[in-house]
Amino acid sequence: MPLKRNKQFISGSQAIAQTIKELQVDVISAYPITPQTHILEELAQFKEDHQADYEYIRAESEFAAASIILGASAAGGRTYSATSSQGVLLMMEVLFNASGLRLPLVMTVANRALSAPINIFNDHSDAMAMRDSGWLMFFAENHQEAIDLHIIAYKIAESLELPVAINVDGFIITHAYQEAFIPNRKIIESYLPKYKPIPNSYLDSNRPVSLGGYYDSVHYQKTRQELSKDIQKSQKKVSQEFKAWQKIWPTKKALKSTYDDGLIEYCGPKKPKAILIALGSLCGTIKEAIKSETNVGIIKIRSFRPFPKDSLNKIIPINCQLYILEKTIAIGSFGPLYQEVISSLNHFKGKATNYILGLGGQDINEADILNIIKANRS
């Protein structure tokens, strides 16, 4: 019997909020910052309308919001919050603590440019500011992928005891409307049961434990290296859970994938002359732009942490033109995505070009993508 799916025409913020409501979280912390505010407003309305029974706590800052879910997670609860831009920076101390304590937090980052100058529109500056914080980091291309990644994130976070951030492009996903399918609680529970924390991994007055502590240099280095190794090893789990969820709730794609292991998606010919690599909603624009390009493919990096080194080496030919497009700038250096990709390739002998574009919400259209391809042909 085919799966019954109720299609909605919905904003990304509404889609994420509805998904979180169905995930049976215990505690939500809330502090407003554009463009993620609508997510938490929707969740507040569900609480007010008695459609949800989670504890909804309004914080006095993003630092407090992060601290609330850290404490609730440490006490054995399934938690959620969302933030953007300067909010990520204000949370930073807590983000490092969450990963160091191995707490399975899940948070939405509605990507927005960092100040100064002040800008409320989309780029990936905030995401890249937290890339070394010890969180797994996923990027959604569209509304449906944002829905799917939030569900998968809880499964991964709770099984590996690692925090996960789902990045969605501000306004482009949060405020725009698209068709999407949101699974109900029964379907989600067939994949993600109600949360039962691992014994002795959380604070319990009946079973006293210590979380965190003071480590000398030897033990500190060992602990940080173990965290790094565990994140690298999580590639297998990310791929496994993505495929498991797709079997339950398959996604219809505008462009057929040649390869998709959950960490990356490749669309294009088997022997491309050129490949564009990008994160987030920009991938949708690239897919539309290259539909008539027979020798050009696109790699969408869905998982930035863990970084999909093995997947990239499997797909990228030794001699190939790479265009690495990213909506952030590493001041005084190459873009972060470019650095990650190039350092991951084992035997690459082709040419790679880094494009920094879309900063502060500057528009990127199909013509811009085609101009990049054409400029490198001449």
High-pLDDT (> 90) share of the chain, %: 91
- State the chain's mean pLDDT as an integer: 95
How does pLDDT run across 13-54, given as a tens digit for each residue? 999 999 999 999 999 999 999 999 999 999 999 999 999 999
d(CA 56, CA 49): 13
User: Which residue did the predictor score with more confidence, 253 or 273?
Assistant: 273
**pLDDT reading at 3 higher than 90:** no
Q: What is the pLDDT of residue 46?
A: 98
User: Which residue did the predictor score with more confidence, 198 or 369?
Assistant: 369
Q: What is the pLDDT of residue 378?
A: 57
Q: What is the residue whose two structure tokens read 């210590």?
A: 210
- The ranges of the chain annotated as CATH 3.40.50.920 are 260-375
For helices 62-74 and 85-100, give the axis angle rounded to 10 degrees. 30
Exposed/middle/buried for 305, CB within 10 Å: 0-12, 13-18, 19+? buried
DSSP-assigned beta bridge partners for residue 277 = 299, 324
Q: How confident is the model at residue 1 (pLDDT cuts 50, 70, 90)?
A: very low
Q: Mean pLDDT, to the nearest integer, of 255-271?
A: 92
Q: What is the pLDDT of residue 334?
A: 94
How does pLDDT run across 294-311, given as a tens digit for each residue? 999 999 999 999 999 999
Any idea which architecture 7-246 has in CATH? 3-Layer(aba) Sandwich (3.40)
Of the candidates 234, 280, 269, 57, the residue with the CA atom closest to the CA atom of residue 136: 234
Q: What is the residue whose two structure tokens read 């990228």?
A: 316
Q: Mean pLDDT, to the nearest integer, of 82-108?
A: 98
Token reading at 36: 């993620």
Q: Mean pLDDT, to the nearest integer, of 222-244?
A: 97
**pLDDT reading at 253 higher than 80:** no
Give CA 128 to chain center in angstroms: 11
Q: What is the pLDDT of residue 4?
A: 66
Of the candidates 358, 125, 145, the residue with the CA atom closest to the CA atom of residue 262: 145
How does pLDDT run across 339-377, given as a tens digit for each residue? 999 999 999 999 999 999 999 999 999 999 999 999 887
Q: What is the pLDDT of residue 234?
A: 98
Q: Which fold has domain 260-375?
A: Rossmann fold (3.40.50)
Q: What is the pLDDT of residue 160?
A: 97
The neighbour count for residue 132, using CB atoms within 10 Å, is: 11
Q: Mean pLDDT, to the nearest integer, of 230-258?
A: 92
d(CA 118, CA 112): 10
- The ranges of the chain annotated as CATH 3.40.50.970 are 7-246
DSSP letter assigned to residue 195: P
